[in-house]
Chain A
Amino acid sequence: MAQIRAENVEKHFGHVQALGRLHLEVETNEFVSVLGPSGCGKTTLLRIVAGLVPPDGGTVYVDGEPVTGPRPNTTLVFQHFRLLPWRTAEDNVAYGLRLRGMAKRQAREEVRPYIEMVGLEGFEKSYPYQLSGGMQQRVGLARALAIDPEILLMDEPFGALDAQTREVMQEELLRIWNATHKTVVFVTHSIDEALVLSDKVVVMAARPGRIIETIEVPFPRPRPTNLRADPVFAQLRTRMWELLRTTEPEETGVAGG
């Protein structure tokens, strides 16, 4: 049974139809990427799956239960970080643990490995305004991982990172995903990133936001670092590029990420 099942999901904002009759299934422990042009409803989809906003039509089921609100086993990594400006980096990472009743000191202990994982040692005591955009993004990432959720919804989680950091983070994410059997829904603007990371890529189109194609990624894991040299990779890449281009007539290409 699929762990996440979105059936006929619709969402309007005024006269904008953000999502129209969208179907999506994500299996337990599956890694699914969502590709789509800007404004096609990716963030809206994640917010609905997270239970933060109700859909206007249709239902999302998680573990067979209809979603009625936020659930403790699901965490959303926000596109624009959303750190608490009055808390230090380490206390931001510890936010979820503190909410679960953990004492401050213990929570700080507990989050240390995550801070190291995202490469922020030495910045534990910095406030968000003292961190670069990429660093803030990594704080948001560590905050989500620190509560060890079963379902990880990620909204362009590496969008603000440089190429090197991005690759390191991709590897870390795969390692954690493997070790802890999470289910991941990963929004990205990068076709390569989607292909390197996922079991399945869904491509969306806008107005109304919907899924126009679901592509299984055939590469066995662990995947080699020279995956990009594989002719199948190039083939899938071209296919997705074409899909995105046809969905986006008013723009010149895929939004960079």
Chain B
Amino acid sequence: MVGVATDERSATGGRRAVRLPSRVEERLWWASGLVLVVVVWQVYAMLSTSSLIVGPWEVVEATGDLIASGELWEYAQSSALSFAIGMLIGSVSGLVIGLLVGRFRLVEITLDPYISALYATPLVAIIPVLIVLLGFGPLSKIVIVSIFVFFPVAINTAAGVKEVPRDLLELADSFCSREMLTWRDVVVPSALPFIVTGLRLSVGRGLIGVVVAEFETAVTGLGYLILSKSRRFLMAESLVPVVVLMIAGFVLYSLLKRVEDGMLERRRGL
């Protein structure tokens, strides 16, 4: 299953072993980890007597079927579109609110109770309510994803803005920089690694948002595909969208991780 993110990693990075494994060694272990799990799963499925336990091979076959029938493509597109739009709206609004909260104390004081409370709330709880309000179309899904994505982005952005070194703000001051230019030259670049961390953490949440919304609306999307197949006990077919979601999440997460590492690399000096 997906290695769920527990690494709210700070800019200082983690601890390191004394002897680092070589690049090849790392790759080897990475690959054997993957193979091992798949093999164990396959063996277990073959030994099992229940028809509900399916192995990886059956999932691969089911993938072929779902691609051939066009179902996978159609539903994936629908999910991806809602996810992308929701991600965009959620992260832009999270960014704006985060910047304001981080930079202006009074905005922080005013908004903090809402942000803290809602961040701590299991947001899936409001999904049925939102669907009643917004209907069974894509609008509901987009709004739900936006809300899920908003909080990690806003909170990380605000934290990043508060971490902007005062020395650099004073430097901007000393050159008579106007507020907007200080944002452009100092505040945003300084907070950028935090912002990317927020985006990275929000990918997983956004995907949860899409899938749960699709369970509830039960009209289209990968969530609906999982639901409809598993209700008919088509276990292999219902696992196909799960694998697709897993890969999508993993790819996005890793990409953002690389961007983030690249940025931190360039400013090690500070």
Contacts and interface: CB of A to CB of B under 8 A. Distances in A.
A129 B269 contact: yes
Contacts of A127: 266-267, 269
B175 A82 contact: no
Interface of B: 167-168, 170-171, 173-177, 181, 185-186, 189-190, 192, 263, 266-270
Contacts of B176: 70-72, 99
Counting contact residues on chain A (CB < 8 A from B), the size range is 20 to 34
Interface string A194-236: 0000000000000000000000000000000000000000000
A95 B175 contact: yes
Given A82-B167, A86-B267, A99 B173 contact: no
Given A70-B176, A75-B174, A84-B185, A129 B167 contact: no
Contact of A50 (B168, B174, B181, B268): B174
B171 A78 contact: yes
A96 B173 CA distance: 11
A96 B175 contact: yes
5 contacts: A75-B174, A84-B171, A84-B185, A86-B263, A86-B267
Nearest to A153: B174
A194 B190 CA distance: 37
Contacts of B269: 85, 127-129
B44 to A, nearest CB: 50
Interface of A: 47, 50, 52, 70-72, 75-76, 78, 80, 82, 84-86, 95-96, 98-99, 127-129, 147
Interface of B is mostly: helix
A72 B177 CA distance: 10
A99 B177 contact: yes
A129 B173 CA distance: 23
Q: Can you list the 8 inter-chain pairs with the closest CB atoms, starting with the nearest?
A: A129-B269, A85-B267, A82-B171, A85-B270, A86-B189, A129-B268, A128-B269, A76-B174
Contact of A52 (B173, B181, B192): B173
A129 B270 CA distance: 8
A156 to B, nearest CB: 15
B185 A95 contact: yes
B102 to A, nearest CB: 18
Contact of B167 (A71, A72, A80, A95): A80
A147 B174 CA distance: 12
Contacts of B270: 85, 128-129
A84 B174 contact: no
A85 B181 CA distance: 17
A40 to B, nearest CB: 20
Best-buried of B175, B181, B185, B263 by chain A (most CB within 10 Å): B175
A127 B175 CA distance: 21
Contact of B174 (A70, A80, A128): A70
Contacts of B266: 85-86, 127, 129
A257 B1 CA distance: 59
A47 B171 CA distance: 11
Contact of A99 (B167, B181, B267): B181
Nearest to A53: B170
A106 to B, nearest CB: 17
Given A127-B269, A129-B267, A129-B269, A84 B168 contact: yes
Given A99-B181, A127-B269, A129-B269, A82 B173 contact: no
Nearest to B168: A82
